[in-house]
Amino acid sequence: MSSEIAIKVENLSKCYQIYDHPRDRLKQMLLPKMQRLVTQTPHQYYREFWALKDVSFDVKKGETVGVIGRNGSGKSTLLQIITGTLAPTSGSVTTHGRIAALLELGSGFNPDFTGRENVYLNGALLGLTTAQIDEKFDVIAAFADIGDHLNQPVKTYSSGMYVRLAFAVQACLEPDILIVDEALSVGDEKFQRKCFDYVERLRSNGCSILLVTHSTATIEKFCQRAMLLHQGKLHGFSAAKEIVDQYHALLYSDEKAYLRYLNQQTESRKPEQPLGVTPAADSALESHTVQRPSDDSAGLKAVITEWDTLDASGESVEVFRTGESARICFLVEVIQPIKEIQAGILLRTVEGVAVFGTSSLYHGKNYSHPEAPSKLKFEFSIALDLCPASYFVTLAIAEAITANDMNYLDRKTDVIVLKVNQPRMLSTGIAALNSSVEVFPVER
């Protein structure tokens, strides 16, 4: 294997045997052998379920790769095979370096042992000696931050305390490869920040990271590349932002619309040229004023047909100054009867970090029982208290079913680019908060 590759997966597949009845399992154990003895073709008494099918990819040393997909797409199965806790049906996995896996946190804990005792037990399972654990114990205790509970049996812990301690034990390792399955979302916000800092530190030290999460913001912030798994197959492996867009297309559309999206992406983009990276892609995003979608709205209840950005005077513009107001407008064509329609917008940075989102629901401006066919215009006014940068705007509409339930109708991802400038540099970051500075001499 190349010295630059940390993980190499080749034609990996995992098949499970699904039995409809318990007796079928016994039949499968006995009858095929008897059928072979009498030269009959053996009968199969189970159905095959392929959790993974011919998955191939590699992760470079020092690279962070995200894994995303719907529930049941094969993400956890993939990680279990890579860590060696599950055997594949076919294919191979080759790794180079020490692996730390944050999968089922606390799976090696004894509930009757104290937290302190479980630190030593779990550390031994991870290959650490007693001397190494002694050396790292204070760091583990500080990371977990559960106080005197460390000397109490873990069966008395809350679920949050349990995973904090389990994560802390894993965090004391210095792996070459880190594999994470949703573990960064454990605990409260303060502890999550600590977890992300740990991952950032590993990244800066050249650790390769394979990260499974449902948070697209995390994928876009931490990962250079990402892969999309769907029904056990690898549907995409490229720049993180491009895979997130593909995931949204899968998540908010039916299977036929998703396949049309894939075909359009294949025809319109060259390999290894993700959206927002090449000049051609940037030009496509910037040509956003008054666009119309292709004829793939058949069967939909409503579609977004036109959009534009206006300044305070109503002029169509795309460049604003920090603090100016922008009006984001878009037309919706209602095709079929709808109980109640709502619209929303989301602003993201070039890296994909969500900056601001709102919807007509939050403002009490949903529209009930629009006529079909008809057209509606939604207009969102926002103050651009943002630092200089380009911000991508996503538009979406949904049908409100109940107060907590909705059906997505249409989504236009990153179709508007807002460019924000400052007359002179007053702030850095994302938000341009109103600030001032005073300096006073201090008498001795």
Q: Encode pLDDT of 300-328 as tens digits.
A: 789 999 999 999 889 999 899 999 999 99
Number of structural domains found in the chain: 1
Residue 212 lies in a domain: no
Q: Encode pLDDT of 204-238 as tens digits.
A: 888 999 998 888 878 888 889 999 999 999 999 99
Q: How many CB atoms lie within 10 A of CB 199?
A: 21
Q: Which residues contact 59 (CB under 8 A, 6 or more apart)?
A: 5, 6, 7, 8, 65, 177, 208, 210
Residue 269 lies in a domain: no
Residue 394 lies in a domain: yes
Residue 351 lies in a domain: yes
Q: Encode pLDDT of 387-404 as tens digits.
A: 998 898 999 999 887 766
Confidence class for position 85, pLDDT limits 50, 70, 90 = confident
Residue 268 lies in a domain: no
H or E element at residue 37 = helix 22-37
Extract the tokens encoding 308.
């534009």
Confidence class for position 21, pLDDT limits 50, 70, 90 = confident
Residue 428 lies in a domain: no
Strands 340-348, 367-368: pairing is antiparallel
Residue 201 lies in a domain: no
List the one residue out of 54, 51, 64 whose CA is nearest residue 7.
64
Domain limits at 357?
A: 287-421
Mean pLDDT of 266-292: 37
Calpha distance 226→240 (Å, rounded): 5
Q: Encode pLDDT of 118-149 as tens digits.
A: 999 988 887 888 999 999 999 999 988 888 99
Tell me the DSSP string of 287-336: --TT----S--TT-SEEEEEEEEE-TTS-B-SEEETT-EEEEEEEEEE-S
pTM above 0.75, yes or no: no
CATH number at residue 364: 2.70.50.60
Query: Which amino acid is it at 442?
Result: V
Residue 403 lies in a domain: yes
pLDDT of residue 104: 65
How many whole angstroms from its chain centre is CA 213? 5
pLDDT of residue 7: 94
Helices (H) and strands (E) in the chain, counts: 10, 18
Whole-Å CA distances, 397 to 46, 107, 290, 349, 410: 43, 42, 17, 21, 5
